[in-house]
């Protein structure tokens, strides 16, 4: 990644590439075959400018171009042995423009954004040794999106802030969608703050979910509709002292028209399913010690239920987090550690019930912000510090109900800012 800031302008270039050889027999391919290979990567170029218009208003504009690819080889046993290939490439142009205006006790933001697919090619084909009747696909379903948005923050009384937001989105093959948002914040005194937040958002089906088709294996669904979520949250914050802050959150979220893959008997197809409701609470605390150590901890409990009246699969009832960071080597570096704990989960794999036990994982990071010279940052990170055996639930397209995860991993990163 490279970023350049010059006055009001910002330029950013991101390029990444990776190739992996998973042993998990994706899409019922041959287990642990060395020819099973996945490659993805791409380039993104972004240009942005923020310019003051008056003493109380400014404008922001951004334009980005993204070129992304995914290629894969899947080996299969047959008579004879054969291979299947994915070749996917996406080129997209997207941008945003908004005006930020402060007038008395009102802070108004209004603007528009858009995205336009220049290419959304999805190709799948077989080697010459594939069985007769094997069907590939070659589609290019271009999607265009545009949106208008507005938000007003109104300090209508000392200690009271009202935030109102509204989005109107239009997208190819989908109906227009309205997404409102409301927030009411009351700061009773410097120590206590209460918030009531609610809103609605959506996610449109992507080109793979709605357009991919391959004989009787996978069926497209051009009538697939966006999934929508309604969120409501109440938050209470207590600043115990200058070093300690407590946060209690109660939430009630409902997801409608969940997009999920189902077996129709004639092939796998993405369809809009029923609703899922998640209700729960989270308690967190942040503390800074006299030695500049920062501590953060939280515990969340929730219950997820679906429209069938049963608990939602692969949804833990509790999640706990603990993190700490502190300067070391006379403030020449920073050492950070985190522990993540998650409760047991139940799920169905090919109509059979399974469960995953509780898990506790620890990670550690050592960062030197200015090594050898100013602006040169070196970071060393260890994930799954204690090399625990971790498995996650698999989809119905996998040959086993569990996918083993990496053990202890050591990663090094070098960044230079100038």
Concatenate the DSSP letters of all residues of 176-214 into one string.
EEEEEEEEEEEEEETTEEEEEEEEEEEE---HHHHH--B
* 140, two tokens: 């290019």
Report the DSSP pairing between strands 268-272 and 244-256: unpaired
* 76, two tokens: 């299969």
Report how far residue 73's alpha carbon sits from residue 124's, in angstroms, rounded to the nearest whole number.
10
Question: 362 — alpha (psi -120 to 50), left (phi > 0) or beta?
Answer: beta
Report the DSSP pairing between strands 218-219 and 268-272: parallel
**Tell me, what's the pLDDT at 404?**
84
pTM: 0.82
By the 10 Å C-beta count (0-12 exposed, 13-18 middle, 19+ buried), 63 is classed as middle
Report how far residue 133's alpha carbon sits from residue 299's, in angstroms, rounded to the nearest whole number.
53
**Tell me, what's the pLDDT at 39?**
96
**Tell me, what's the pLDDT at 294?**
95
> What φ, ψ does residue 211 adopt, rounded to 5°?
-115, -20
Token look-up 């989105």 returns 169
Neighbours of 263 (CB within 10 A): 11
Report how far residue 37's alpha carbon sits from residue 30's, in angstroms, rounded to the nearest whole number.
12
Query: Residues with Cβ < 8 Å from 194, sequence gap 6 or more?
Result: 185, 186, 188, 234, 235, 236, 237
The residue length of the chain stands at 418
Report how far residue 263's alpha carbon sits from residue 338's, in angstroms, rounded to the nearest whole number.
40
* 63, two tokens: 């334009």
SS3 assignment for 122-150: EEEEECCCCCCCCCCEEECCCCEEEEEEE
**Tell me, what's the pLDDT at 285?**
97
Report how far residue 66's alpha carbon sits from residue 95's, in angstroms, rounded to the nearest whole number.
11
Report how far residue 40's alpha carbon sits from residue 19's, in angstroms, rounded to the nearest whole number.
7
Report how far residue 321's alpha carbon sits from residue 336's, in angstroms, rounded to the nearest whole number.
13
Count of CA atoms in the C-beta half-sphere (13 A) of 171: 21
Neighbours of 373 (CB within 10 A): 8
Residues of the chain with pLDDT under 50: none
Dihedral over Cα of 26, 408, 322, 375: its sign = negative
**Tell me, what's the pLDDT at 331?**
87
Count of CA atoms in the C-beta half-sphere (13 A) of 8: 10
Report how far residue 43's alpha carbon sits from residue 341's, in angstroms, rounded to the nearest whole number.
35
Query: Residues with Cβ < 8 Å from 373, sequence gap 6 or more?
Result: none
Report how far residue 353's alpha carbon sits from residue 390's, in angstroms, rounded to the nearest whole number.
19
Report how far residue 371's alpha carbon sits from residue 375's, in angstroms, rounded to the nearest whole number.
8
**Tell me, what's the pLDDT at 391?**
87
CATH number of 16-416: 2.40.170.20
- Return the SS3 of 27: helix
Q: What is the DSSP letter of 26?
A: G
């Amino acid at each position: 990644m490279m970023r350049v800031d010059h006055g009001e302008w910002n330029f950013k270039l991101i390029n990444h590439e990776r190739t992996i050889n998973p042993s998990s027999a994706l899409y019922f391919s041959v287990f642990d075959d060395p020819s099973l290979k996945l490659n993805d990567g791409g380039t993104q170029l972004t240009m942005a400018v923020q310019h003051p218009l008056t003493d109380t208003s400014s404008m922001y504009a951004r334009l980005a171009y993204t070129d992304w690819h995914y290629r894969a080889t899947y080996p299969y046993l047959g008579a004879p042995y054969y291979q299947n290939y994915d070749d996917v490439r996406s080129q997209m142009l997207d941008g945003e423009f908004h005006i930020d205006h402060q007038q008395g006790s009102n802070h108004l933001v209004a603007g528009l954004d858009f995205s336009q697919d220049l290419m959304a090619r999805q190709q799948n084909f077989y080697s010459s040794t594939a069985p007769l009747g094997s069907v590939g696909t070659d589609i290019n379903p271009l999607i265009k999106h545009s949106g208008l948005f507005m938000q007003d923050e109104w300090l209508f009384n000392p200690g009271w802030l009202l935030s109102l937001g509204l989005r109107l989105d239009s997208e190819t093959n989908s109906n227009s969608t309205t997404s409102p948002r409301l927030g009411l914040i009351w700061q009773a005194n410097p120590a206590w703050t209460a918030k009531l937040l609610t809103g609605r958002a959506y996610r449109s089906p992507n080109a793979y979910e709605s357009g991919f088709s391959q004989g009787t294996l996978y069926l497209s669904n051009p009538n697939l509709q966006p999934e929508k979520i309604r969120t409501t949250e109440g938050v209470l914050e207590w600043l115990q002292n200058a070093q300690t802050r407590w946060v209690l959150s109660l939430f009630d979220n409902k997801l409608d028209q969940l997009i999920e893959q189902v077996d129709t008997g004639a092939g796998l197809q993405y369809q809009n399913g029923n609703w899922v409701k998640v209700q729960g609470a989270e308690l967190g605390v942040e503390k800074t010690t006299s030695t500049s150590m920062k501590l953060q901890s939280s515990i969340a409990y929730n219950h997820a239920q679906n429209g069938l009246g049963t608990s939602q699969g692969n949804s833990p009832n509790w999640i706990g987090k603990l993190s700490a960071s502190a300067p070391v080597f006379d403030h020449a570096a920073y050492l950070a550690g985190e522990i993540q704990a998650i409760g047991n989960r139940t799920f169905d794999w090919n109509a059979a019930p399974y469960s995953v036990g509780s898990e506790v994982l620890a990670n550690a990071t050592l960062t030197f912000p200015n090594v050898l010279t100013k602006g040169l940052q070196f970071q060393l990170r260890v994930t799954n510090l204690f090399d625990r055996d971790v498995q996650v639930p698999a989809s119905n397209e996998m040959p086993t109900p569990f996918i083993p995860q990496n053990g202890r991993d050591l990663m090094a990163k070098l960044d230079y800012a100038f």
